[in-house]
Amino acid sequence: MKRMRDEGRGMRAPRAAGVRVTSHESRITANGGRRRFMLGAAGLTFGVAAGIPDFLRATGGAAAAQGTKSVAMNPWVTLYADGTVAIMSPACEMGQGSLTSLPRIVADEMDADWAKVKIVPAYPSGKLYGNPLFGGEQYTAGSATVTGYFNNLRQFGAQVRQVLLDSVADHWRVPTGELATIPGYVVHEKAGRRIGYGEIVGFAKIPANAPEVSVPPVATAQFRLVGQDTQRIDVPSKVNGTAQYSIDVQVPGMIYGAILREPMEGAAPERIDDSTARAIEGVIRIVPLQYGVGVLAETPWAAFKAKNALKVSWSRNAAGWGFSSAKGYEQFSAIAKDASQKGFPWDSKGDMAAAMAKAATIVEGEYRADYAYHAQMEPLNSVAAVSPAGDAAEVWAGTQSQTITVAAVAAALGIPEAKVKFNGMLLGGGFGRRGNRDVEFIVDSVLMSKAAGRPVKVIWTREDDVHNGRFRPLYVNRIRAGLDASGRIVAWQHRVVADEVLAFMDPVRHKLTKGVDGIAIRGTELPTYAIPDRMSEGLLQKTGMRTNPLRAIGVGQNSFANEVFVDELAARQGVDPVEFRRRLLDKTPLAQRARHVIDEAAKMADWDRKRPGRGLGIAYLDYSGTQVAGIAEVSVDRVSGAIKVHQFWCAIDCGVPVHPDNVIAQTESSIVYGLGLALSERITIEDGQVKQGNFYDYHVPRMSDVPEIHIKLIPTRNHPTGAGQMATPVVPSAISNAVYALTGVRLRQQPMLPDRVKVALAEAGSRAA
Amino acid sequence: MPQMITTTLTVNGVQRTVTAHPDTPLLWVLRENFRMTGTKFGCGAGQCGACTVHVDGRSAFSCLLEIQHMAGKSVTTIEGLSPDSKHPLQRAWIAEQVPQCGYCQSGQIMRAAALLKDKRNPSRAEIVEHMKTNICRCGSYPRIVAAIQRAAKEV
């Protein structure tokens, strides 16, 4: 395990004003400029401890609640007389670690002593705590948290430090320029004295306008905490059972709810036979809902049993009836081939059609992926206490967006958002499942509590969680590459046919993006490959199936298609796959970083070494600016068709790694997630309904499935980019390419199930014979 | 329809009595009646191990144990693994920064604790064989192995 370091870097002098941060900053405007953050800071009520999960009450929340003398420096930082520095963390914590890493950025710039920092989850306020990359909503997704908040948090931290310096200068009647900081103290070296941040509380002067301070660009900044390892603050509570998820919440008078939901979107209950269900002891009431039938009961067990005993027939007007995975593949494949059908453009450069027309050779490939399920370990659930009059609500939930949740609860009850008190709980896994605009699993408890007139905890069973799943869509990708006479790629066309995602999961953002569904199409872009004329387009279908972002979103399949196809082109030309990619890379600085991760991965894997019975495959990816290369070492059981991954090497460059050990943990995690999607995870739809039900027929990776994982984190002086899911897409493509290297058989569909591998091997065998 | 029954069992060294339906899983009694929520609901089918506890010293899926069969049994949950959260596995879990979302980790630790009771120095293969009953969707498996190996050195 890595050493926990927290090294000082000496004294910091005041900074000159006016240095711009990075070009990235220009995107961060959602909150109306940074000066306003000091405005009205004194008027902030820091009695916001209400929104703090219980596991934090002993830390930041307690300090706030105890009434220790304190001063709110800005909405992000409150200083306490005992030296405690409370820092708000605006994101949701689902295991990705930003509860800890975001305050580290603030603490670094304000020169706080990390040992004195208490992290406080921010209460819902998109205006104050929204992620600039999500239009100012508090929305934890897209591995966009550190990257989205980074510049603002540095700025706010630097402003706090400046106010501390100015306050001390005023107090000591010395020029600010003679003062500096060391962690936790303002120092006047000339006079040989220093003062702790806590002591400044007594006389701190909070200006009406934020001081003009600029932070050095990331390329030259001297970070003290950023880039160093630390312990995540939520970890101790997660080894002794005290961590609080919404499923753990109990409130006085609470009863339990279970819901039998429509088998697909839009199918309403028509006839309900609840005679058996009502007879189950402990059942309080059956609650008909527009989208299903709810049960209220004294215990979860009675609620589950009653839900299972319901007999309901469903209206046949839903779009999904009759649809199936098999039909989807057939339809999508036909659409992908039909050039007369146009989609929305995504990665457009140059003139693809003209370049393709001039190509000497055209190569095509089709790639597929089944629906896939999030399988977060905590089955969805929530707790709501709606007032008897129905005019106010308190909600406990694990969500990826505080903003969306408060709005959805208010809308469900027809009440103002101010009447909703939201308690953000830890998430027992998110992976994209908990950020849909309607947060249906939270509205469940609100409607049930309203019906009951009491607090209700609604728990989905695992079977509910699978049946009501909102999946990564079914995909058919068709890629065409135009080659010139020398074999160089001169044109690239990538058509993505899939169920629409954004239109279903977030109509608000879908409208804002004018129908461009970045969730489904992202990952088709090739910013580092030197292909001048290219185009990708999305042809998304209304199938009536429930979809959502799932870890690595569209990248998980679109990059699979890209990287297996690139491998096929390399093989056609008889060029080594690593060398082929190196040659394909552009000469831009970004492509240099790409070259670096590819080279590092190849070096780690000892790429040129042959190993009997094993194959090696590589995949590379630019994922929202993060550079990733992965290499898989596999063997194949030719009798069963099972693929075994023995080793996986990964090199990753996400710019400045704010919390390096956590980047490594997230990369391990993304690799294991990618392994399941690659080899075993499949949701099958028949007649519009989900066939799987639990972990016995939806197989996620277990410890015995996991290869030895080797990760090289390459820190660079670039703005931090995402780390939470970036390696997931390179796993299936590296595995497929490794199987080709070993067997000469191309696997073009996720998951690469044993039966599919067997068929592919047999087909190749009969072709050879 | 079976009637409610009253069952007395020992949980973390303390005798507890509950009145519940005979087929109620121990998991829900622990969580909702005894308010020990460290033991988690994951699948309800003995597939994921999030609900792992010790019954008379052996690891078990509490989602599959009906309360009617629990009379007189001694159950240990994550809350009772150590008085101060300082069990070697708990310390190793922190040292290796194992948990991500953390939801499965009570079960993982209880499962691992049963292993270390039987085998003081399990091999990597023995760890994998023993731990494959428990799913971690965050994929913290490499760190779980490292943490068990670290704790084994101390036990």
Nearest by CB: B78 against A240, A379, A670: A240
Residues 75-114 of B with CB under 8 A from A: 77-79, 81, 85, 89-90, 93-106, 109
Mean of the pLDDT values across residues A37-48? Answer: 28
Cα dihedral: A408, A413, A415, A418 (round 10): -50
Cβ-defined contact of A301 to B21 (cutoff 8 Å): yes
Residue of A537, A470, A540, A476 whose CA lies nearest to A505: A470
Contact A685, A324 (CB under 8 A): yes
In whole angstroms, give the CA distance from residue A292 to residue A23.
Answer: 50
Nearest CA to A626 out of A670, A581, A567, A579 is that of A670
CB contacts of B53 in chain A (<8 Å) are none
Mean pLDDT score across all residues of chain A: 92
List the beta bridge partners of residue A362: A482
* Residue A491 CA, distance from chain mean position: 32
Is pLDDT at A307 greater than 90 in this prediction? yes
**How far does the CA of residue A218 sit from the closest CA of chain B (Å)?**
27
Q: Which of residues 16-75 of B touch A (CB under 8 A)?
A: 20-21, 23-25, 28, 31-32, 35-45, 47-48, 50
**Buried/exposed code over A333-363 (b: 16+ C-beta within 10 A; e: otherwise):** eebbeeeeeebbebbeeeebeebbeebeeee
| Cβ-Cβ contacts under 8 Å, A664 against chain B | none
- Output the six-digit token pair for A291: 């989208």
Nearest CA in chain A to B48: A695
- State which residue of chain A sits closest to B92, comparing Cα positions: A239
* pLDDT, tens digit (0-9, with 9 covering 90-100), for B112-144: 999 999 999 999 999 999 999 999 999 999 999
CB contact under 8 A, A673 and B4: no
For a pLDDT cut of 90, what percent of chain A falls above it? 89
DSSP structural state of residue A317: -
B20-75: pLDDT as tens digits: 999 999 999 999 999 999 999 999 999 999 999 999 999 999 999 999 999 999 99
**d(CA B119, nearest CA chain A) in Å:** 19
Q: Measured between alpha carbons, how far is A91 from A122 in angstroms, rounded to an integer? A: 8
pTM value is 0.94
Cβ count near A270 (within 10 Å): 10
CB A733 within 8 A of CB A559: yes
pLDDT digits (tens, 9 = 90+) for A716-758: 999 999 999 999 999 999 999 999 999 999 999 999 999 999 9
Query: How confident is the model over A683-711, as pLDDT tens digits?
Result: 999 999 999 999 999 999 999 999 999 99
User: Any CB–CB contact under 8 A between B146 and chain A?
Assistant: yes
**Contacts with A286 (C-beta within 8 Å, 6 or more apart), sequence order:** A272, A274, A277, A278, A293, A294, A295, A296, A306, A310
Spell out which residues of chain A touch residue B137, defining contact as CB-CB under 8 Å. 375-377, 429, 431, 673, 700
What pLDDT score was predicted for residue A693?
Answer: 98
The span from the CA of B130 to the CA of B141, in Å, is 12
Residue A551 predicted with pLDDT over 60: yes
Find out whether A310 and A273 touch, Cβ atoms under 8 Å.
yes
A180: number of CA atoms within 13 Å, CB side?
10
User: Is residue A437 scored above 60 in pLDDT?
Assistant: yes
Would you state the structure tokens that stand for residue A329, as one six-digit string? 């593949």
How far apart are the CA of B42 and the nearest CA of chain A, in angstroms? Answer: 6
Which of A304, A378, A694 is opposite residue B103, by nearest beta carbon?
A: A378
Q: Which two tokens stand for residue A744?
A: 């000469």
Burial of B123 (0-12, 13-18, 19+ CB in 10 A): exposed
Q: A545-583 burial by CB neighbour count: b if 16+ within 10 A, else e? A: bbbbbbbbbbbbbbbbbbbbbbbbbbbeeebebbebbbe
Place of tokens 């305050």: A103
Question: Distance (Å) from the C-alpha of residue A142 to the closest C-alpha of chain B?
Answer: 16
pLDDT for position A11: 62
Spatial distance between the Cα atoms of A683 and A471, rounded to a whole number of angstroms: 8
How far away is chain A from the Cα of B136, in angstroms, using its nearest Cα? 7
Contacts of B89 in chain A (CB under 8 A): 239
Chain A residue at shortest CA distance from B81: A240
| Backbone dihedral angles phi then psi of residue A273, each to the nearest 5 degrees | -105, 105
Q: What is the pLDDT of residue A61?
A: 40
Sign of CA dihedral A706, B50, A680, A337: negative
Q: CB of A285 within 8 A of CB of A451?
A: yes
pLDDT confidence of A67, banded at 50, 70, 90?
A: low
Sign of CA dihedral B110, B113, B118, B123: positive
SS3 for A386-437, per residue?
ECCCCCCEEEEECCCCHHHHHHHHHHHHCCCHHHEEEEECECCCCCCCCCCC
- Higher model confidence: residue A765 or residue A706? A706
Q: Do B78 and A377 touch (CB under 8 A)?
A: no
Checking if the pLDDT of A479 tops 50, the result is yes
Identify the band that residue A766 occupies on the pLDDT scale cut at 50, 70 and 90: confident
Whether residue A696 and residue B139 make contact (CB cut-off 8 A), yes or no, is: no
Rounded to the nearest angstrom, the minimum Cα separation between A237 and chain B is 9
Task: Kindly tell me if the per-residue pLDDT of A29 is higher than 70.
Answer: no
Please check the confidence at residue A445 and state whether its pLDDT lies above 80. Answer: yes
Chain A residues with CB-CB distance to B127 below 8 A: 703
The average pLDDT across A614-630 equals 98
pLDDT digits (tens, 9 = 90+) for A202-242: 999 999 899 989 899 999 999 999 999 999 999 999 999 99
The yes/no answer to whether this complex scores an ipTM above 0.90 is: yes
Check residue B30 and report its DSSP letter.
I
A3 pLDDT band, cuts 50/70/90, is very low
Tell me what the pLDDT averaged over chain B comes to: 97
- Decide if pLDDT at A8 tops 80: no
Angle at A571 between CA A568 and CA A572, to 5 degrees: 85
